[in-house]
Amino acid sequence: MKIIPLISATLCLMAVSCISPFTPEIETQGSYLTVNGLISDANRRYEIRLSLSRPLDETAAVVPATNALVSVTDDHGNNWTFTEEERGVYLSDSTLFTGIPGYVYTLRIEHDGRQYESDPCMLRPGSDIDTIEWEIQEREVDASGKTEDVVRISLSSYDPEKDNSYFRWTFMETWEVQLPFTMLSYEKRVCWSSESSHSILIANTEALSEDRVTDYTLAVIDNSTDRMQHRYSMLVNQYAINFDEYEFWDNVKKVSENTGGLYDVIPAAVPGNVRCTSDPDERVLGYFSVSGVSTDRIFIKRPLIISDTYAEICAEDTIPANPNYPGLGLYVWAIIELEPFPGVFTWVITSNIACSDCSYFASNVKPDYWDEGFRK
């Protein structure tokens, strides 16, 4: 009797019959106002972003909440109006409004005939960043034991007054881009790309004897990106937040990082600190943050050996100069005109528009802090 094939067939049948897709019951009706805003003690324009959430079974882009009336008040009787300068984005006037530590601020919104209000939030004083450091680490790539070098950027912070036990960080990366064609003008060949952080970076020191954060990882950057090819800088913002905001970001982080597995958290709206005063049953998403901020910047120069990203994607060719060349300006671009012989003109061409001018995907305006930062 062939027992082994029989057992195998039985196991396969059990596997097929026991595993079936599980579709959780998730509320899909309606859209909710989503608030994303921040007030700090930095002298800058504060931004309140309003949008309408989409049901989980829809993939449509975020819908901006336009034509809202947005204002912030404090516990000293002051009121500041925010102006909508692009769809769903409301900005303050930095010449009129800068947050003050110890003051209590409340966000008020009127949209589509409804009124919304945040919990009153006190602006906590920020604490300084001690150090931002970087190091090259060796990381295993796969099970074969192959490794690669990565750059790890970390932060340490200490509040000797023990005023702040909850922290959140964001950062803005800026890195230099250089196209491989030296014949291009400097403005077309050298640019600077920037990108803000997307990860939720939080920590708390409540259980510690002192408010000290040590060697907290902000980012790990490998050679799959051109960030570390030339010169790189990171501006870090450290926010002193309260327990409620820490709990909000911690819950959002758990939901965003634990979806997809059998026992993972089902995506759901994480309660924030904004409510609808005209309809208490209406759900409002997002958070209005009020916190002191401190900033610091790090500069890193060519820490990794990276193959020239743009040399690989910017294939080039040389053709006789011809203003009527098929596809010129549509899918073929001239990088430069040459005269190899008197009266004979040729073009160096590329099929990628970004290879002819880096300002198509980055800024060709050098940041004002760039040269001085790398001289230190």
* Per-residue pLDDT tens over the stretch 251-287: 999 888 776 554 444 455 688 999 999 999 999 999 9
Same domain, 141 and 74: no
Query: Cα(70)–Cα(68) distance, rounded to whole angstroms?
Result: 6
The pLDDT value recorded for residue 61 is 63
The token duo for 25 is: 């019951």
Task: Determine the average pLDDT of the residues in 335-361.
Answer: 73
Same domain, 119 and 254: yes
How does DSSP assign 93-112, residue by residue? -TTT----TT-EEEEEEEET
The pLDDT value recorded for residue 62 is 77
Q: Which of 284, 288, 291 is nearest to 107 (CA)?
A: 288
Report yes or no: 93 and 256 within 8 Å, Cβ to Cβ: no
Query: Cα(228)–Cα(135) distance, rounded to whole angstroms?
Result: 12
Q: Domain of 343? A: 309-360
Same domain, 141 and 196: yes
On the question of pLDDT at 355 being above 90, the answer is no
Mean pLDDT of the chain: 84
Question: What's the number of CA atoms in the CB half-sphere (13 Å) around residue 345?
Answer: 7
Of the chain, the percentage scoring pLDDT greater than 90 comes to 57
Same domain, 162 and 111: no
Does residue 176 belong to any structural domain of this protein? yes
The pLDDT value recorded for residue 10 is 41
Same domain, 89 and 135: no
Q: Which of 54, 18, 10 is nearest to 262 (CA)?
A: 18
Of the chain, the percentage scoring pLDDT greater than 70 comes to 74
Same domain, 81 and 99: yes
Count of other CB atoms within 10 angstroms of residue 7: 10
Does residue 28 belong to any structural domain of this protein? no
The pLDDT value recorded for residue 145 is 78
* Per-residue pLDDT tens over the stretch 209-244: 777 899 999 999 998 888 999 999 999 999 999 999
Q: Is 189 exposed, middle or buried (0-12, 13-18, 19+ CB in 10 A)?
A: buried
Same domain, 274 and 318: no
Query: Cα(352)–Cα(332) distance, rounded to whole angstroms?
Result: 7
The pLDDT value recorded for residue 351 is 65
On the question of pLDDT at 354 being above 60, the answer is yes
**Tokens 């799959």 identify what position?**
224
Does residue 235 belong to any structural domain of this protein? yes
Does residue 12 belong to any structural domain of this protein? no
Does residue 18 belong to any structural domain of this protein? no
Q: Which of 242, 241, 245, 261 is nearest to 253 (CA)?
A: 245
Same domain, 63 and 111: yes
Same domain, 149 and 285: no
The pLDDT value recorded for residue 260 is 52
The pLDDT value recorded for residue 183 is 77
* Per-residue pLDDT tens over the stretch 117-139: 999 999 999 999 999 999 999 88
How does DSSP assign 273-291, residue by residue? SEEESS-TTS--EEEEEE-
On the question of pLDDT at 200 being above 80, the answer is yes
Same domain, 201 and 138: yes
| Total domains in the fold of the chain | 3
Does residue 21 belong to any structural domain of this protein? no
Report yes or no: 173 and 351 within 8 Å, Cβ to Cβ: no
On the question of pLDDT at 23 being above 70, the answer is no
Q: Name the least confident of 85-94, 99-108, 136-145.
A: 136-145
Domain's final residue, options 305, 329, 350: 305
Same domain, 192 and 147: yes
Query: Cα(241)–Cα(47) distance, rounded to whole angstroms?
Result: 17
* Per-residue pLDDT tens over the stretch 128-186: 999 999 999 988 877 787 888 899 999 999 877 767 889 999 999 999 999 888 878 89
The pLDDT value recorded for residue 30 is 64
Report yes or no: 220 and 151 within 8 Å, Cβ to Cβ: yes
Does residue 373 belong to any structural domain of this protein? no
The pLDDT value recorded for residue 350 is 73
Q: Tell me the three state secondary structure of residue 316.
A: strand
On the question of pLDDT at 304 being above 90, the answer is no
Query: Cα(48)–Cα(64) distance, rounded to whole angstroms?
Result: 12
The pLDDT value recorded for residue 258 is 72
More confident residue, 322 or 350: 350
Does residue 332 belong to any structural domain of this protein? yes
More confident residue, 328 or 155: 155
Same domain, 138 and 118: no
On the question of pLDDT at 11 being above 80, the answer is no
